[in-house]
Amino acid sequence: MDQFEFTSSHKKFTFGLMGIGLLALMWAVYCIMGSEGADHHAASARLWSNLLICGFFFIGISVAALFFLAVQHAAEAGWATMFNRVFEATSSYLYVGSGILVAVLFFGGHDLYHWMHADAVAHDDLLAHKSDYLNPTFFWIRTLIYLGVWIFFMRLFRKLSLEEDEIGGTKIHFRNQKYAAIFLVFFGYSSSTASWDWIMSIDAHWFSTLFGWYVFSGMWISSLVFMTLLIIWLKGKGYLPKVNENHIHDMGKWIFGVSCLWTYLWFSQFMLIWYANIPEEIVYFKARFDDYKVLYFGMIIVNFVFPFFGLMDKDNKRSIGWVGTIGVIIFITHWFDVYMMVTPGVMKDHWHFGGIEIGLFLGFLGLFLFIVLNALSKAPLIVKNHPFLDECIHLEQN
């Protein structure tokens, strides 16, 4: 069982999800076609904001997987070596994800970003001030650089990993370490600026220095949860026989820790803005507080309380049932985190939550699973010849 088999029933399942997504997409397009005036505008804004939410949520998961892989390389970590292929497969969505995100930004930019309207910028001093940074040309240059460099490193790590399977030795290990450090530096900047460009600029007047790190922690936790669920699923199918509760324990610790990090960053941003209560900052939370109260605070409470209390206990972190259940719950509620970043800025108080949102999420999930599982089936499920493989197999918690 060292080769994952992407069976036709798996494929059917992902196609089914994609079919639901396609139906939701068609329904959304029908709503746009069949409406006029303000309704027409709202329907098209709803579609584009949902496409951005899902496009960003899933590309965030895949780039955070690349980040996590790079951290393992750079930190000489040995506990997760058996998961390297899972990390690589999750990051392989970057190709398709980039294509989708570029399309969404290109065709939907006008509906999503106020600053992309030349006439709005002309009548808005603040937008005019920001236009040195927030202008379509520079925006596209930046977007393409982020995506291009991320894809470059994703390919590089994958290539080196497959090469190591063949030739062994320690040379590739040390090269990985070096490249990982370079990627982490680039990611350190680009994760912040990308979230300013794609997300923060929706609320074009608003600004927060912490925003980039907050968004990054959200990507990271979603990615960890996804990869843990994938590992649990593979284990349930009889793959990864050497993975035991010690490895699940470590993934559980990461989920616990990064959930706390996410909450800490959310709280830092919220508390400082709430406390100072100055108009140019508080608008952001006022919109969420007035029109989305239950959804917004519900999302935060679930994202903190479930992993915090559910995974605090050692035995729970070692239990596939606990980690899996909490993983599924917070995977969904972290999608709501992205939903709450995008929707209030685009839809204001005219928001809806229904079939289009759920359908598009499922559709994206199907596509994402298809690509990840497909990549997973293309190489042996566990790396060979990695110098830390033996350490990982004999991992023991103390």
CA atoms 314, 320, 324, 327: torsion sign: positive
Q: Residue 117 in 3-state DSSP?
A: coil
**Beta bridge pairs of residue 3:** 380
Q: In the window 122-151, what residues touch another protein (CB under 8 A)? A: 125-126, 129-130, 133
Q: Does 120 bind another protein (CB under 8 A)?
A: no
Residue of the chain from 189, 233, 297, 309 that contacts another protein (CB under 8 A): 189
Helix (H, G, I), strand (E, B) or coil at 3: strand
Query: How far apart (Å, rounded) are the C-alpha atoms in residues 93 and 370?
Result: 9
SS3 category, 70: helix
Whether residue 324 contacts residue 313, with contact meaning beta carbons closer than 8 Å, is answered with no
Q: How far is the CB of 172 from another protein (least distance, A)?
A: 12
Q: Which of residues 279-298 bind another protein (CB under 8 A)?
A: 280
Q: How many residues bind another protein (CB under 8 A)?
A: 48
CB nearer to another protein: pick between 31 and 200 = 200
Determine if 170 is a binding residue for another protein (CB under 8 A): yes
For residue 307, give the amino acid letter. P
Judged by CB under 8 A, the chain residues 369 through 388 that form the site for another protein are 382, 384-385, 387-388
From the list 42-50, 102-110, 187-195, 356-364, the region that binds another protein by CB under 8 A is 187-195
DSSP state string for 361-380 = HHHHHHHHHHHHHHHHTTSB
Would you count residue 398 as binding another protein (CB under 8 A)?
yes
Residue 101 β-bridge partners: none
Between residues 95 and 133, which has the closer beta carbon with respect to another protein?
133
Q: Does 321 bind another protein (CB under 8 A)?
A: no
What is the closest distance, in whole angstroms, from the C-beta atom of residue 316 to another protein in the complex? Answer: 14
- CB 274, CB 285: distance < 8 Å: yes
Task: For residue 180, report the phi and psi dihedrals to the nearest 5 degrees.
Answer: -60, -40
* Cβ count within 10 A of residue 191: 22
DSSP state of 242: T
Rounded to the nearest whole angstrom, what is the least distance from the CB of residue 145 to another protein in the complex? 17
Q: In the range 200-239, which residues lie near another protein by CB under 8 A?
A: 207-213
Instruction: Please identify, using beta-carbon distances, which residue of 93 and 296 lies nearer to another protein.
Output: 296
CB 50 within 8 A of CB 356: yes
Question: Alpha-carbon distance 100 to 114, whole Å?
Answer: 21
389 binds another protein (CB under 8 A): yes
Question: Looking at beta carbons only, is 237 or 394 nearer to another protein?
Answer: 394
Is the Cβ of residue 272 or residue 328 nearer to another protein in the bound state? 272
For 348-379, letters b (16+ CB in 10 Å) and e give: eeebeeeebbebbbbbbbbbbbbbbbbbbebb
In contact, 363 and 25? CB cutoff 8 Å: yes
Least distance between another protein and beta carbon 343 (Å):
21
What is the spatial distance between Cα 81 and Cα 391, in angstroms, rounded to a whole number? 8
Measured from the CB atom, is 109 or 387 closer to another protein? 387
Looking at beta carbons only, is 362 or 381 nearer to another protein? 381
Q: Cβ of 38: how many Cβ atoms within 10 Å? A: 9
Residues in region 260-279 near another protein by CB under 8 A: 260, 264-265, 268-269, 271-273, 275-276, 278
Q: Which is nearer to another protein, 23 or 182 (CB)?
A: 182
CB of 50 closer than 8 Å to CB of 28: yes
Establish if 358 lies at the interface with another protein (CB under 8 A): no
Give the shortest CB-186-to-another protein separation in angstroms. 12
26 counts as binding another protein under rule CB under 8 A: no
Site string for another protein, 41-80 (x = CB under 8 A): -----------------------------------x-xx-
Please list, in sequence order, all residues whose beta carbon lies within 8 angstroms of the beta carbon of residue 235, skipping any fewer than 6 positions away. 243, 320
Shortest CB 373 distance to another protein, Å: 21
Residues forming the site for another protein (CB under 8 A): 2, 76, 78-79, 125-126, 129-130, 133, 170, 173, 185, 188-189, 192, 207-213, 242, 253, 260, 264-265, 268-269, 271-273, 275-276, 278, 280, 382, 384-385, 387-391, 393-394, 396, 398
